[in-house]
Structure 1
Amino acid sequence: MLQRILDSIIPPKKIPDQDWFALQFEPEKAREVYKIPLPSLPSDDAQVSFTALSGENNMRQAFDFYVHMRSVCQLDKIRRPKVLDFGGGWGRVSRLFLRDTKPQNIYIAETRASVIQLLRDANAPYTAIHNEPPPPIAGLPNDMDLVFAYSVFSHLSEKYFLDWIGYFLEVLRPGGHIVFTSRGHYFIRHLQHLHANEEAAPPNLAEHIRRLKQMMPHPDEILRLYDAGEFQFYPVGGSEELTPSFFGEAFIPLAYLKKHFGDALVDFTEDLPRVDQSVTVLRKR
């Protein structure tokens, strides 16, 4: 009881953005000076396996996404928000919210059992939940302030996308937000480059290009459908529990989002620095 009273009257220490980013590489200092239980970073190999990035480049991408969410969703006005990192991997974005809220208010849901074990091995202070591919998420509160997903809906089928968004709108409090990324023009340009340069690609990348050619239309057709406002899903599959029945490459254009979510759509951008996917923000009325 006393702790709850103190929490309500003593504000958390304010850490400037530049200092908070630097602390990601000094977790001992975060723990000693600010009493924030910041975990150490996983190995470079582990980081690359999730995002093809590591070190400062990896965290800078996550940080730009985090800062964008805090700004658009006005999270600075919410005292110790409850947040869910859906498909959050080892927690490269989740860890950034340790500046804003208590560890027990940060939830990570992951379909892959190996990733849940990775979080536990790292003694990550968040609440990690091993969820099934379709909703719901067992044990998740129904008064969340923010649900976010980086590079998750860029891979899920339309049915799974709509089912998950519908579920998240149920567990959000009124005024809460959903923020997610998906494939857009940046990735289409990447596919066009791969097609145009297949002969010069190293053997491992050439095999990847051949696989994409077999399972996806030509990038020019993907671009046409994207600009026409169509949801596109190509079931190329992934690792472990990520089967082609729901996992692949997904493109979600702005016109589709406007049609399905109307006034709940409060922001959409494909121009966030260092973030190579579109970023969508929905708000629960």
Structure 2
Amino acid sequence: MATYITQTQGLIGNPILQKQARLLQAARQQGILPLSLYYYPVETDSAGELSARQDGILSGVSFGDDVIVQLPTLLGGKYEQAFLDKIANFCQASTSKLVIAVSALPDPAKPKELAQEIQLYNRADVLLVPSVEAGTFLREHGLRVSRLVYLDVWDRKVVLSLDSPAFNRQLVTLDAALADQVAGKWVRPSTTAVYDLHTAGGFALLWPAAKYDSGIPEAQVLASGLPVVVSQESYLARIVEREGMGLAVPDLATAAAYGAMVTEEDYQQLAANAGRFSAFVRSGGFTSHAISQAVASVNQLKWG
């Protein structure tokens, strides 16, 4: 029996698909096979054409195989509903299990779309969500799946050896406007941003609050090995304070004041903790662990 994972192809630079690529990479390293979904105008398909197209995608999947579906596919609710219907045929006729990996949370300001997405999530045997806070949010809005796996950080996997960062009383950010607000240093977003942030030294500022999910820029910051200053409202506040790698503050004024008064001794301790955490991010540890936990949870369901 095999396990498969989907990824939508065909939209270069899309941040949701960049996240899916991270999870796919971790899954393939664990022997999980890819299922490629190609972006196209679904509305041009008749019901028969859509069914035939999806039959082709799933042609290699056998009864007893498990499937990890990354949502959203960006192909729309019609496509996703039909695709999950086909996977349900495997699940109903065998021990096959469905994992849904949530790449981006639905907008709470759009209650109808939120309800539709949660209806899809409720079809999963195991749900992989971006964070503990994301899981709580979804449960508050109707999620019934009992087995949840938490990601926490979309890794920035990179082969890079970093020493302890320089002690500088400055805030460093990938956001130019934010740097102006706190009289901090701006580092241009690029493929070398992890190294560039580390070289700048000081504290990395992650703002505004990401309540439930991080993105690729946040992963670059967390991979840099710099101590981090985050909003108290961000789910990352829990991680930063748990790891002893920075500070969660209520506003930007407090962030700027903290960066200006911290002692070198305190900074070095935070930097040591941040260095250990960043090494885990750069190794792809979070995505790899989430995939292995999802597979383990599926196996527990199948074999007791």
Provide the TM-score with structure 1 as the length reference.
0.34
Structure having the higher Rg: 2
TM-score (norm 2): 0.32
